[in-house]
């Protein structure tokens, strides 16, 4: 127990010992009158409750007293409190018996009057305990009934359950067969392969013709046609041979590049089937491109300049802003790290201060506990001396006890007579109540036994007559339901027509988008064709230039060779 609980227990024990004589008066009378069937081992429990109610109720309060009472047996506490806080008992024999030990004026002012003041509130507590007892379910012990045993008979075999009749299998609708085109490669791939093989054959034919001209390795230019004759007798100048090999390689590379570009052009022109989403998406793309082009043309017409300088300046300023943000972030990070270190130091200082305070409080607590222990020992010694004095004062009360016993017997006899009279009156009232109830039951049974007309004719055109808003007959209800069904059917037809119109509008929109896409594609194809023709023209314009330079070089080489031959002949 803690200190307060220990002090309360010691005070209660001392009080029960000091006022044992007057407490025994109440408890003995309770055992004689209302507590005849209560065990004698619970006597001390009633003594403690009687002491708390008489001497400590003002100090501990009704709430604490109620909590103590509710923690004990409900039936016993309800019985004892109802006996002790009876107005008649307090004003008559309890007051007289306590006056034998103490002065009657002192008893009335200090004990009886406070109990009478507390009596209404304690009566509420008694009523709560009574309600709790009435709501509590009581277990009734039933007599043991003979349990019959089964005969040991042969258990028949269970009958076989007939198999259920097979339900007709639901016939699934016939599925459409898989089209054979799924297992065949697409036609476009076959066309590409054919074009590729044709191009390879053309390249082989051209290479063979060149090989026939060179009469040897097609990629070695040791022999070249010059003025209708082959220079096979003499070797060509190494410088000229190297230059011609470079030119020949560039021509072949350009030719093979054209061969590789042609399949890609065919791939781009392959028709692709578009769904609704793809058509709308492509239409939106072309519309966006058209708007951007119109906006660009308007800006150019209004004199818009090149935004490159502004973009460069914007890039530099953004770089500066980014550097400033990075430096600011780094400063914040360092500041956060510094504040974290400061917080750690402050936390450590607080812990040290708390430890010092805890040590001081521990020392003060030890001193207070030492003083309190000494005080408790002193109080215990004083209490023992007081108990001894009280015990000595109780030795000379035998004559008083004999008188009390005679008086108690008289009271018990009087109370028994009164209780018998009350019990007799209660039995008579119960018999009258049962007789009235029996007569009422007989009347109800007689009313139930009278025959009643159970058949009722129903008129569908009349209302029920219940007095409700919107009350109608069954015929009117059927007519309204028919009108409601017609209105619902008309609404469904209207909605169906609306869906059909929306579907047709959507199909028209998709067709318009397809026309727009085809126009855009045609324009883009024309632009690409024009660009390709311009590119070919530019290339054809450049090739004669290259060819003229080659011819000039060849001429110069031939002239040089002729001069070299002449000089060789002269030498």
End-to-end CA separation in angstroms for the chain: 142
Query: HEC profile for 231-280?
Result: CCCCCCCHHHHHHHHHHHHHHHHHHHHHHHHHHHHHHHCCCCCCCHHHHH
Report the pLDDT value the prediction gives residue 271, as an integer from 0 to 100. Answer: 57
Give the confidence band of 496 by pLDDT, cuts at 50, 70, 90: very high
Residue 31, both tokens? 């055992």
Residue 103 is predicted with a pLDDT of 87
Provide the CA 496 distance to its chain's centre, in angstroms.
Answer: 42
- Could you give the CA distance from residue 536 to residue 538 in angstroms, rounded to a whole number? 5
Nearby residues of 188 by Cβ (< 8 Å), 6 or more positions away: 267, 270
Answer yes or no: is 12 within a domain: yes
Give the separation between CA 22 and CA 102, rounded to whole angstroms: 9
**Pairwise pLDDT comparison (73 vs 216), residue with the higher score:** 73
- The verdict on residue 17 lying in a domain is yes
Q: Which of 121-130, 315-324, 451-460, 498-507 has the lowest mean pLDDT?
A: 451-460
Q: Identify whether 101 is part of a domain.
A: yes
| 129 or 219: which leads in pLDDT | 129
Which residues lie across from 230 on neighbouring strands? 225
Residue 558: the pLDDT is 67
Residue of higher predicted confidence among 274 and 505: 505
Residue 82 to residue 123: CA distance in whole angstroms = 8
The pLDDT tens digits for 270-306 are: 556 678 888 888 888 888 888 887 887 787 777 766 5
What is the rounded (10 degree) CA torsion for 533, 539, 542, 544? -90
Which range in 162-176, 287-301, 349-363 is most confidently predicted, on average pLDDT? 349-363
Q: Is residue 292 part of a domain?
A: no
| 30 inside domain | yes
Please say whether the beta carbons of 83 and 34 come within 8 A: yes
Q: What tokens were used for 49?
A: 């409750």
Q: Judge whether residue 446 has pLDDT over 90.
A: no
Please tell me the total count of domains within the chain.
1
Domain span holding position 105: 3-136
Q: Is the pLDDT of residue 222 over 50?
A: no
Question: What is the per-residue pLDDT for 461?
Answer: 81
Q: Of 2, 12, 3, nearest to 49 (Cα)?
A: 12
Average pLDDT value over all residues in the chain: 78
- The CA distance from 80 to 48, in Å, is 12
Within a domain: residue 460? no
Q: How far is CA 115 from CA 126, 480, 485, in A?
A: 15, 78, 81
Q: Given this model, what pLDDT does residue 220 score? A: 42
Q: Which residues contact 462 (CB under 8 A, 6 or more apart)?
A: 473
Residues 84, 34: Cα–Cα separation, whole Å: 10
Q: Which of 180-194, 416-430, 498-512 has the weakest average pLDDT?
A: 180-194
> How sure is the predictor about 319, in pLDDT bands with cuts at 50, 70 and 90?
confident
Residue 494: the pLDDT is 94
Q: Which residue has the higher pLDDT, 20 or 544?
A: 20
Is the pTM value of this prediction over 0.75?
no
Q: Give the pLDDT of residue 337.
A: 63
Residue 122 within any structural domain of the chain: yes
Q: Reply yes or no on whether the pLDDT at 45 is more than 60.
A: yes
Whether 307 has a pLDDT exceeding 70, the answer reads: no
Please give the average per-residue pLDDT across 43-68, as a whole number: 87
Q: Which residues contact 327 (CB under 8 A, 6 or more apart)?
A: none
Are residues 52 and 12 in contact, defined by beta-carbon separation less than 8 angstroms?
yes
Backbone angles phi, psi at 225, to 5 degrees: -75, 125
Give backbone dihedrals phi and psi of 349, rounded to 5 degrees, phi first: -65, -40
On whether residue 64 sits in a domain, the answer given is yes
**pLDDT at residue 501 above 90?**
yes
Rounded CA-CA distance 380/6 in Å is 12
Per-residue pLDDT, 305: 62
Q: How many CB atoms lie within 10 A of CB 517?
A: 17
Higher pLDDT, 485 or 104: 485
230 neighbors 212 (Cβ within 8 angstroms): no
């Amino acid at each position: 127990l803690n200190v307060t609980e220990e002090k309360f227990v010691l005070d209660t024990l001392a009080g029960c010992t000091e006022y044992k004589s007057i407490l025994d008066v109440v408890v003995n009378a309770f055992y004689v009158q209302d507590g005849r069937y209560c065990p004698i081992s619970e006597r001390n429990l009633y003594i403690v409750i009687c002491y708390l109610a008489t001497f400590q109720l003002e100090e501990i309060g009704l709430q604490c007293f109620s909590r103590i009472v509710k923690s004990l047996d409900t039936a016993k506490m309800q019985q004892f409190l109802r006996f002790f806080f009876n107005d008649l008992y307090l004003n008559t024999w309890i007051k007289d018996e306590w006056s034998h030990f103490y002065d009657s004026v002192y008893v009335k002012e200090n004990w009886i009057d406070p109990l009478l003041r507390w009596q209404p509130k304690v009566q509420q507590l008694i009523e709560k305990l009574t309600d709790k007892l009435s709501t509590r379910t009581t277990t009734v012990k039933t007599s043991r009934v003979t349990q019959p045993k089964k005969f040991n008979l042969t258990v028949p075999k269970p009958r076989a359950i007939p198999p259920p009749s097979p339900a007709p299998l639901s016939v699934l609708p016939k599925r459409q067969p898989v089209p054979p085109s799924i297992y065949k490669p697409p036609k476009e791939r076959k066309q590409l392969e054919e074009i590729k093989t044709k191009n390879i054959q053309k390249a082989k034919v051209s290479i063979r013709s060149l090989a026939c001209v060179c009469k040897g390795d097609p990629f070695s230019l040791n022999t070249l046609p010059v003025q209708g004759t082959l220079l096979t007798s003499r070797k060509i100048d190494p410088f000229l041979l190297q230059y011609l090999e470079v030119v020949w390689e560039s021509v072949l590379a350009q030719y093979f590049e054209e061969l590789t570009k042609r399949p890609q052009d065919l791939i781009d022109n392959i028709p692709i089937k578009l769904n609704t989403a793809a058509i709308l998406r492509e239409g939106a793309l072309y519309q966006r491109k058209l708007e951007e082009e119109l906006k660009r043309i308007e800006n150019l017409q209004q004199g818009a300049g090149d935004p490159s300088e502004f973009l460069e300046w914007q890039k530099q300023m953004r770089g500066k802003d980014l550097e400033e943000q990075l430096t600011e972030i780094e400063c914040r990070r360092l500041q956060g790290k510094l504040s974290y270190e400061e917080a750690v130091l402050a936390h450590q200082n607080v812990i040290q201060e708390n430890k010092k305070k805890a040590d001081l409080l521990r020392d003060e607590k030890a001193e207070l506990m030492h003083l309190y222990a000494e005080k408790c020992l002193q109080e215990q010694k004083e209490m023992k001396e007081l108990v001894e004095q009280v015990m000595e004062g109780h030795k000379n009360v035998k004559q008083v006890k004999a008188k009390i016993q005679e008086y108690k017997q008289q009271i018990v006899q009087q109370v028994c007579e009164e209780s018998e009279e009350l019990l007799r009156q209660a039995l008579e009232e119960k018999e009258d109540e049962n007789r009235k109830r029996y007569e009422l039951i007989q009347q109800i049974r007689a009313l139930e036994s009278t025959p009643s007309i159970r058949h009722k004719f129903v008129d569908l055109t009349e209302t029920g007559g219940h007095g409700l808003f919107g009350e109608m007959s069954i015929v009117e209800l059927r007519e309204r339901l028919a009108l409601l069904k017609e209105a619902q059917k008309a609404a469904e037809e209207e909605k169906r027509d609306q869906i059909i119109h929306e579907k047709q509008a959507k199909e028209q929109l998709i067709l318009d988008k397809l026309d727009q896409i085809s126009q855009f594609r045609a324009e883009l194809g024309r632009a690409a064709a024009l660009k390709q023709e311009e590119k070919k023209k530019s290339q054809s314009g450049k090739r004669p230039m290259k060819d003229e330079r080659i011819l000039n070089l060849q001429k110069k080489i031939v002239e040089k060779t002729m001069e070299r031959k002449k000089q060789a002949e002269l030498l």
